[in-house]
Amino acid sequence: MKKYKLKGLAMSCILFFFTQLHAQKFESLAQTPPMGWNSWNKFQADINEQLIKETADVIVSSGMRDAGYVYLVIDDGWMAPVRDEKTGDLVADPRKFPHGMKEIADYIHSKGLKFGIYNSAGTETCQGLPGTRGYEYQDARLYASWDVDYLKFDWCHSDKQNAEESYTTMGKALLSAKRPMIFSICELGTNKPWIWGAKMGHLWRTTDDIGVQFDGYIDHKTWKQLSIMTMIDQQVGLEKYAGKGHWNDPDMLEVGNGLTASEDRLHFSMWCMLAAPLMSGNDLTKMSQTTKEILMNKDVIAIDQDPLGFQAFRHSNEDSVQVWFKPLQNDDWAACFFNRSSVTKNINFNWQRENVNDTLYKKSLPTASADFNLYDLWKKKNMGNTRNPLNVNLAPHDVLLIRLSR
């Protein structure tokens, strides 16, 4: 009997299929937090084929794609009010997308981008369009036929459904469709998806919807949009649930949608510290130079995309000033200081006396025994080293983001 040796590609294929046979999701995806653009924050359901194609063009021409923003996700409002009466398939709204979703997918892919789409686990989407409840496997096959790369799956009109069971069913449906897709669990944190979401999802919402608000919330009477500060507060203690292939998601970015420049920098800095997915939600065709510089600051993005995949932890919270730390590869660290108050605050931080310990990952910042160089990631300048205390004034709603390296 002859013995055969499997080499290279053949062995890789066998291992891949064996792994997927026992997997609950496509394990190789989202090894760093996904980056891209989503239509909802700026346009809500007012979307169409021209807008999506123009956005794809600008993601490329502006440099966003090269900075890492590769997923273009069409949110709620893309579909017709009813399913196809013969097949039961979802149908693109013929007024908004006259050439259908496959044509959109092909256009997005032709730009070197990846295509994402939206639906809900309930009977209807948040806009009252056809949901996926009872159609999970059929919808997954349809998305695969359209070459979808990313599914955002909401939680509207899901009364009496069990969240974990509903998302497990959709996760299995995506696997059965055999096209690798990132599965974004948009359950709004109601049923603590950080506890169970990693089994079938690549990211899960930890909060209700974000709004263009620095602190507090926007009251719509029947529901509220949360502020940047409220979102950050709700991430404390969730760091143990994040990691490669499974990320806490404090919702999409509002950078460029009406906050001040300093607030946008703080917002973006903290999403990167939190290893959050970076899904921009602004009108890319009308970006200011300041917005471009924030969204495409590669040094700051590198904090989010660090290969270790650690989420930052809050070191201190005193007198409206918070300090967060994040271990990075090669024994580097990121430190984020921000001022949530309406008055300037003095930051006096003695590196050699502070005891900075990441108890989750068993890492310590040894500034008492070793010197670290300090680099301001927004001003792009050196700030000396940890031999001397940090003494700076921080303006209201502003941020100081530092990379420490030896």
Instruction: From the candidates 75, 149, 208, 209, give the one annotated as an active-site residue.
Output: 209
Residue 250 near residue 232 (C-beta atoms within 8 A) = yes
Nearest CA to 391 among 366, 406, 374, 367? 374
At 26, phi and psi to the nearest 5?
-80, 100
Contacts of 16 (CB under 8 A, 6+ apart): none
Nearest CA to 71 among 167, 183, 204, 185? 183
Instruction: From the candidates 75, 149, 154, 398, give the one annotated as an active-site residue.
Output: 154
Nearest CA to 91 among 170, 100, 150? 100
Amino acid type, 382? N
Q: Looking at 22-160, list the stretches that DSSP marks H as alpha helix, in order from N- to C-terminal side.
A: 40-43, 49-61, 64-67, 100-110, 136-145
CA distance 62 to 287: 9
Element (H, E) at 10: helix 8-21
Q: Which two tokens stand for residue 269?
A: 């800095």
CA distance 338 to 309: 22
Residue 337 near residue 321 (C-beta atoms within 8 A) = yes
Residues pairing with 385 in the sheet: 373
CA distance 366 to 325: 13
- Determine whether 154 is an active site residue: yes
Residue matched to tokens 């490669």: 244
Residue matched to tokens 């990693």: 198
Question: Which residues are catalytically annotated?
Answer: 154, 209
